[in-house]
Structure 1
């Protein structure tokens, strides 16, 4: 009879196997993210992903379920890594509403603009913003909705408790849109603005101050604005 392996040896072997599986899964995720970022979900193929990751074509189904689940995991990985690098700052009771808005906008701009645009994670997130897929729905529910909720609380604090739900959302989307503009239109800004002006006025800190001042002034003034009446369609 052969000698049975000890429990310690079995445990070590199991740990090694799990580590190897984690490494393979991570390698597939990284290579898939690069291809998805360059070509989008529809144009990317499982065969190419597996070739670049140096795994069998069945590995995608084994580790992720299917191509769509792999794509969703790649987008989540991109968002989580960038968000963890620039987490939302914490404020105290003494922090003013305008300062909270500045801290929020600064963090969001850092996530958008301070990541190397050639990085596949940033390219993939930008593609997802401009061409939303089913992955976008999950990210909105799990990540963006809580993040957006922080902004809505700041707006409610600035405008007052009587602000309507649709005005709250419109104002929040306006703030977010100003930030996303500078990511989606890097080349446009680069063409229209001189290098000297970009260096002096279009760095993250200066953009955050501008967006905050512009938005906060609008929030304060909106208290005195009448509620717009919806226009009815005319035949």
Structure 2
């Protein structure tokens, strides 16, 4: 009997071992789910359709992610990473000293055509979530948005010479980043048919955007510097 037990144990362990293609299947499901959620939104996308399009068994979503909701959470985080990851933000500004140069590098990366093409379905997923937040929006905020916002708030605080939690710094984040988001998610037909000059000169658009943003930040810095000095006098 002891001998029989020893022979069965390795077989049982072998059955529990993960399949060698498990990581590839998980990545395929995540990519396919991103496309489906981008097309249909959270409410209308089903695990069945995701598995059918991925060519995997119907139970694949539950096996690899636990549930459709957990899969969507992963899709949201990946979508935000596609746009720009925290590691990218840190790396692209590592060698820059002036916070204005860092801000220029970050906004330039967001608006670069290569960056937009690389995001695939990410922008559409994030845009859908912004327009109609689902039950997993808090996960997106905590795991993807908040770390990037913290980094950008610190950068803008340097430019404005104010604490990172100052209301003006938080407003400056919206004023600086929101125009980029609008340009990224707006349908291509708008600049082509309504604002053709923008469509023909992306470099000029970015340069004027930076003039606009930096001038606004300088104005905010001056206004709040005056505000800080008034009580002392």
| TM tier, smaller | 0.7 to 0.9
Query: Aligned runs of 1:155-194 on 2, under 5 Å?
Result: 155-161=156-162, 165-186=166-187, 187-194=189-196
* Other-structure match for 2:231: none
Richer in helix (by share)? 2
In structure 1, list runs of 5 or more residues that go unmatched: 228-235
SS of the residue corresponding to residue 18 of structure 1 reads: coil
In structure 2, list runs of 5 or more residues that go unmatched: 228-233
What displacement does 1:146 show?
2.1
Question: Cα gap change, 1:120/1:161 in structure 2, threshold over 3 Å: closer, same or farther?
Answer: closer
* Other-structure match for 1:232: none
* Other-structure match for 1:90: 93
User: Does the alignment pair 1:133 with 2:109?
Assistant: no
More contact order relative to length (CA 8 Å, sep ≥ 6):
1
Aligned partners of 1:223 and 1:13: how far apart in 2? 64
What displacement does 1:55 show?
2.9
* Other-structure match for 1:52: 53
* Other-structure match for 2:230: none
Question: Cα gap change, 1:182/1:156 in structure 2, threshold over 3 Å: closer, same or farther?
Answer: same
User: Does the alignment pair 1:74 with 2:75?
Assistant: yes
Q: What is the alpha-carbon root mean square deviation over aligned residues?
A: 3.4
Q: Deviations over 1:174-213 (max 9, x none)?
A: 111111110232332222122x65222xx2x443332222
* Other-structure match for 1:210: 208
Number of matched residues?
218
Q: Deviations over 1:140-186 (max 9, x none)?
A: 22232222222222221222236872111111111111111102323
Contact 1:72–1:135 (Cα < 8 Å) also in 2: yes
TM-score normalized by the length of structure 2: 0.76
Q: Deviations over 1:30-71 (max 9, x none)?
A: 222211110001011122222222333222222212111111
* Other-structure match for 2:124: 123
SS of the residue corresponding to residue 161 of structure 1 reads: coil
